[in-house]
Structure 1
Amino acid sequence: MPMIRQTLIILLVLQTITSCVASTCDDRPLRRPLRSSYDYIIVGGGTSGAVLASRLSEGSDSVLLVEAGRSDLENAFVPVPAFSSTIQLTPDDWNYFSVPQKRTGLGLNDRRGYWPRGKILGGCSSTGYHAHNRGSKFDYDEWSREGAKGWSYKNVLPYFLKSEDMQIPELSQSRFCPMQSNIKNGTRCSSVSCFLRRVLHRPNLQVSVKTHCSKVLIRRRRAIGVEVIKDDKRLRIFANKEVILSAGIINSPQILMLSGIGPASHLRKFGIPVMSNLPVGKNLQDQLSIILHYTIDDDITYTSEKLTDSANFQQWNASRTGILTRAGTDGTLFAKTAPSSQTPDNYPDVWILGFSYASDVGIIESGLKFNYKPNVIENQVKNADSSGFNLFPTLVRPESKGTVRISSNNPFVAPTITPNHLASAKDIKTMLRGIRLAQKLVATRSFQMVKPRFLRRDFGRICKQRFNSNAYWICMLRHFSVHIYHACCTNRMGARNDPSAVVDQKLRVRGIRNLRVVDASVMRNQIAGDPHAVAIMIAEKAADIIRCTDTVGKWRRQVSSLFQCH
């Protein structure tokens, strides 16, 4: 067992016992027996699903939220912001891997990227790295121009504001500020802990964990319920009003295809009757990144020793303060690097994330998971340091598109994920500009104060091109570029006549009544940022669409002056 996880398990024993006592009380509503029908059935208790369930149950309608994973209270690592990586490659993650890649992945086992997704109440909001980015206003205005009417920045900003509790005063004073994160009072603020758990007592809301949805029940092109497997029993539960899929960018398209909604030729391969021939899973957009590590002398960054120090843990456990209240992503930079007159000057194409982690042995073995080959890990261990930081030049809006496909008609068989990274030459050029921008950043006087030294990763000189040339970095991208958990768009929204769209502007699945998708899979295009905040916004807006209400009038009036010229 890796050192960090083994030590943390020992440190968390006391808290685990405390959490288990609390869960006896807090999770009691999760143990109610399932009924035969509900007004709304939401599939997926992740980032969007938990928010949507909390909103739809505000009235008298009965709501069932089904989640394949267990309660978040059963994992003592979840509330600690610094411990996200300890949840990866555990039963609380779906542990998906991509298919072998053609143009990338030379440094990965079988050229397959690791695609973590939370299989726990709260989904990725319970397992991810807390980043909160709305994206650029131009992202949403583009959605609207392309046919997703009602999703311009003017339309969605009030829904962001509704869910936010911004506590960073520097935001109103400067273009630079601390990282915006879903952390409150030193603890992870997931969609469960900050939205759902406080309303679990509602008599019209039921949450069923360890409940795997196998398909949507459809009769005469109308969704009438879901089929689920719980406690090894196959059950059918019916929806009086709607079925809503909020299972995420991998599982929502999988469930649709298992239900007969998707590319007809693909479904027929598995003997699945076609209910609606739609481009489900065809628009996978993923933000590719590469890690640039710099070693420094000053002991000012995360190390495995600090993360496992009992004093730091005791401080967090007692007061929710200290180093464990940070996720490690301490800063981000968005920049437009392309000399294009077709996009606004402040529309970014590159995102640089700053992680204040050293590359010591414990971090290498137990930190972010990428499915590196054993010899890559061995080389990193040989070149481990005691203090340093990482910069992640990241492709904001990939031109390369991938797919999600079912690989079996068995709902327990993982779908096929094909990211198709770097299929476009434009994406390679953008990544090269991102690397150069990161190098310029490190060369600034502020960074040079800590004397950063770049740590090469091309052990054995596997990239034989001249060091730091564009050819060298293209080779490095082929070997070491990675998925950093920010994919979207596999059930794209669009206008009724848009052949690329799976759902319409009201998130209704085309051709099937009483069925919607509400999660990051409906995003039309990738945004400048992490999709997490967008998934919450989508749920907030969907709740109003479904109920035909307007709950954001206060925030709309608050920001109306920003749009008076448009």
Structure 2
Amino acid sequence: MEFDYVIVGGGSAGSVLAARLSEDPSVTVCLLEAGGDGKNILIRAPLGLIATLPGRPKINNWAFETVPQPGLGGRRGYQPRGRALGGSSALNAMLYVRGHPSDYDDWAKAGCDGWGWTDVLPLFRRCERNVRGSDDFHGASGPLEVAEQRSPRPISRAFVDAAAEVQIRRNDDFNGPDQEGAGLYQVTQFWRDGKQGERCSAAAAYLHPVMNRHNLKVITRAHATRVVLEGLRARGVTYRKGRAEHHVTARAEVILCGGAFNSPQLLMLSGIGPADHLRARGVEVVRELPGVGQNLQDHLDYIYAAKTRDTDVLGLGPVGACKLIRDIMSWRRDGTGIVASPGAEAGAFLKSDPDLERPDLQLHFVAALVDDHSRKWHLGYGYSCHVCVLRPWSRGQVGLDSPDPMRAPRIDPKYLSDPRDADLMLKGARITREIMNAPALRSYRRKEVYTRDGMDDAELMSHIRARADTIYHPVGTCRMGRDAGAVTDPQLRVHGVQGLRVVDASVMPTLIGGNTNAPTMMIAEKAADMILAQARG
């Protein structure tokens, strides 16, 4: 098979890119995705994430693990990543957050021309069909449906009230003129045309509606094993489907959209990366690029958890079971009820110091007692509040354990390896406790699950190291830039290899101050423009 463009990975970036490139009828596109078609009920129903996120069994989920983390008491972290068309947008909490404008200006200042806030805002607006309509910050005619939550729980509104009681202002739009404050999140969820309440993944928004295009071929259950190189030019991709190995040729470009773990892994399996690391794993070096797999950044997440007598949350008990059955029928009828909930209904962007220019902490308030990525359940009912450091200083890496392409990559985030992250996480935990103890929420609490009032800093920090883990925002392992450590240039072309690009969250030089799904789709929108412009000369 031969196409102009071969895209590896049909996730948040790959779905957008395949749809945008194939808008040109003169261009042929092949998209390879290791998972399924991204259309099953556990994806369409937002609450389905409680089945897909834990990775037990691995439903639409790579369910990776990290190497043991010294900063987390030697524990292995869990890294769920989407394995289906739509990628991680098929199993995330659907929160639509762009980050802070200064994050993108920081990219531009670091040498990534064309990636400043004024450059990317029009792309964000082009992505979305926001229920609020079009204005200076939002778009109303894009493929991605951005909605208000269908049925937020009263306890989530109580979180916003509790934040106000401790002098944290309300914010009805985290993507508006000011990010700081507490409020309810907007979500990537259908709000019209009979799909109200369903998840609007990147695939559902961009790809599924156009899969019948004559110039677009989507191959699912296709696990890419190597980029085929002719000298220092990418010519195609080999992949496994079932027990057979196949090859697809790219006349113009191979584009990797596997994300912060899979894209650097595939580069290294193809001989592109740190030379010593590749040789030690038995991989022939084709192009030495020491930055491949380096610069891993992620949002480490600490969770405050409490039990409640309130049964209007997700929990394990007879009242909750009856309500869930009722809400399943409600969701099927009109897209409302807890089945439509993102789980993390409310949140906040906070400054650990009022003199800061931008928030450095983010909270996610969940109308359920989340423990160990929903892999540990508690009888009864509860709620939880997550806090993460938005721009961590710790840097990790992704590598190979072996040259076997079917093995998982070696993931080492090096959480809390920089002591500044630990100090800021402790401040965030203290602020979270202050909100949880405010009157509006204190009335909901029956008891805390793991912590208690009066813990000193040493006790609380020990508890953080024992329980903190990712909130699913790994980036940076194929970062763009112009320096010797960069993997791609600002046009996302791999340095020193013709016909090869990386388009996903791995190209981010630094982690943005917020959730990473919307920025990943923006990156793909911009990449499509750059690729088509180059093709037209």
Asked if TM exceeds 0.5, the reply is yes
Is the CA contact (8 Å cut-off) linking 2:182 and 2:348 kept in structure 1? no
The structure with the greater share of residues assigned to helix is 1
Query: Hey, what does 2:8 align to over in structure 1?
Result: 43
Is the CA contact (8 Å cut-off) linking 1:217 and 1:223 kept in structure 2? yes
Distance 1:165 1:549 in 2: 28
Distance 1:187 1:549 in 2: 37
Structure 2: which amino acid aligns with 1:322?
G
* Paired residue secondary structure (2:44): coil
Query: Hey, what does 1:368 align to over in structure 2?
Result: 373
Is the CA contact (8 Å cut-off) linking 2:301 and 2:468 kept in structure 1? yes
* Paired residue secondary structure (1:131): coil
Is the CA contact (8 Å cut-off) linking 1:168 and 1:178 kept in structure 2? no
Structure 1 position 478, deviation (Å) = 1.7
Query: Hey, what does 1:104 align to over in structure 2?
Result: 72
Cα separation, partners in 2 of 1:157 and 1:304, compared to 1, 3 Å? farther
Query: Hey, what does 1:433 align to over in structure 2?
Result: 427
The structure with the greater share of residues assigned to strand is 2
Distance 2:77 2:476 in 1: 19
Structure 1 position 201, deviation (Å) = 1.1
Distance 1:302 1:369 in 2: 11
Structure 1 position 405, deviation (Å) = 0.3
Distance 1:534 1:490 in 2: 16
Listed one character per residue, the Cα deviations across residues 350-409 of structure 1 (whole Å, up to 9, x for unaligned) are 11110111x4xxx76xx8346xxxxxx5xx74xx443x3211111111111111001111
* Paired residue secondary structure (2:339): helix
Query: Hey, what does 1:490 align to over in structure 2?
Result: 477
Distance 2:202 2:403 in 1: 31
* Paired residue secondary structure (1:38): strand
Structure 2: which amino acid aligns with 1:301?
V
Matched, 1:408 2:395: no
Query: Hey, what does 1:271 align to over in structure 2?
Result: 282
Deviates more, 1:292-301 or 1:313-322: 292-301
Distance 2:336 2:214 in 1: 36
Distance 1:161 1:220 in 2: 40
Query: Hey, what does 1:540 align to over in structure 2?
Result: 525
Structure 1 position 215, deviation (Å) = 0.7
Is the CA contact (8 Å cut-off) linking 1:349 and 1:397 kept in structure 2? yes
Query: Hey, what does 1:66 align to over in structure 2?
Result: 32
Matched, 1:157 2:151: no
Distance 1:208 1:304 in 2: 39
Is the CA contact (8 Å cut-off) linking 1:168 and 1:177 kept in structure 2? no
Query: Hey, what does 1:295 align to over in structure 2?
Result: 307
Structure 1: which amino acid aligns with 2:386?
F
Structure 1 position 500, deviation (Å) = 2.4
Query: Hey, what does 1:5 align to over in structure 2?
Result: none
Is the CA contact (8 Å cut-off) linking 2:182 and 2:349 kept in structure 1? no
Structure 1 position 173, deviation (Å) = 11
Is the CA contact (8 Å cut-off) linking 1:338 and 1:430 kept in structure 2? no
Listed one character per residue, the Cα deviations across residues 234-268 of structure 1 (whole Å, up to 9, x for unaligned) are 12211010000001111001000001111010011
1:82 to 35, 47, 63: 47
Structure 2 matches for 1:462-477, cutoff 5 A?
A: 467-477=454-464
Is the CA contact (8 Å cut-off) linking 2:255 and 2:500 kept in structure 1? yes
Matched, 1:390 2:384: yes
Distance 1:549 1:452 in 2: 58
Distance 1:539 1:350 in 2: 27
Cα separation, partners in 2 of 1:454 and 1:393, compared to 1, 3 Å? farther
Structure 1 position 181, deviation (Å) = 1.1
Is the CA contact (8 Å cut-off) linking 1:292 and 1:454 kept in structure 2? no
Query: Hey, what does 2:499 align to over in structure 1?
Result: 514
Structure 2: which amino acid aligns with 1:144?
A
Q: Indicate the RMSD between aligned Cα atoms, in angstroms.
A: 2.2
Distance 1:351 1:454 in 2: 24
Structure 1 position 295, deviation (Å) = 2.9
Deviates more, 1:190-199 or 1:302-311: 302-311
Query: Hey, what does 1:180 align to over in structure 2?
Result: 186
Deviates more, 1:158-167 or 1:197-206: 158-167
Is the CA contact (8 Å cut-off) linking 2:279 and 2:285 kept in structure 1? yes
Distance 2:367 2:308 in 1: 11
Distance 1:389 1:321 in 2: 20
Query: Hey, what does 2:154 align to over in structure 1?
Result: none
Distance 2:297 2:353 in 1: 20
Is the CA contact (8 Å cut-off) linking 2:183 and 2:347 kept in structure 1? no
Structure 1: which amino acid aligns with 2:28?
S
TM-score by length of 1: 0.81
Structure 2: which amino acid aligns with 1:455?
E
* Paired residue secondary structure (1:100): strand
Structure 1 position 76, deviation (Å) = 2.1
Structure 1 position 91, deviation (Å) = 4.0
Is the CA contact (8 Å cut-off) linking 2:362 and 2:390 kept in structure 1? yes
Distance 2:532 2:265 in 1: 27
* Paired residue secondary structure (2:429): helix
Structure 1: which amino acid aligns with 2:373?
L
Identity among equivalent positions (%) equals: 36
Gaps of 5+ in 2: 134-171, 191-195
Query: Hey, what does 2:297 align to over in structure 1?
Result: 285
Is the CA contact (8 Å cut-off) linking 1:291 and 1:393 kept in structure 2? yes
Is the CA contact (8 Å cut-off) linking 2:38 and 2:84 kept in structure 1? yes
Matched, 1:354 2:354: no
Cα separation, partners in 2 of 1:167 and 1:223, compared to 1, 3 Å? same
Structure 1: which amino acid aligns with 2:308?
I
* Paired residue secondary structure (1:113): strand
Is the CA contact (8 Å cut-off) linking 1:159 and 1:540 kept in structure 2? yes
Is the CA contact (8 Å cut-off) linking 1:40 and 1:63 kept in structure 2? yes
Cα separation, partners in 2 of 1:509 and 1:173, compared to 1, 3 Å? closer
Listed one character per residue, the Cα deviations across residues 457-487 of structure 1 (whole Å, up to 9, x for unaligned) are 16xx9xxxx9521111111122111112111
Listed one character per residue, the Cα deviations across residues 279-303 of structure 1 (whole Å, up to 9, x for unaligned) are 1111110111111013333333222
Distance 1:91 1:132 in 2: 23
Structure 2 matches for 1:450-469, cutoff 5 A?
A: 450-452=443-445, 455-457=448-450, 467-469=454-456
Cα separation, partners in 2 of 1:508 and 1:40, compared to 1, 3 Å? same
Distance 2:268 2:86 in 1: 24
Listed one character per residue, the Cα deviations across residues 417-455 of structure 1 (whole Å, up to 9, x for unaligned) are 11111111100110011011112222334334x343551
Distance 2:374 2:262 in 1: 21
TM-score by length of 2: 0.85
Listed one character per residue, the Cα deviations across residues 296-325 of structure 1 (whole Å, up to 9, x for unaligned) are 333332224546732211221222222211
* Paired residue secondary structure (1:165): strand
Distance 2:118 2:529 in 1: 16
Deviates more, 1:434-443 or 1:151-160: 434-443
Structure 1 position 528, deviation (Å) = 1.0
Distance 2:73 2:333 in 1: 43
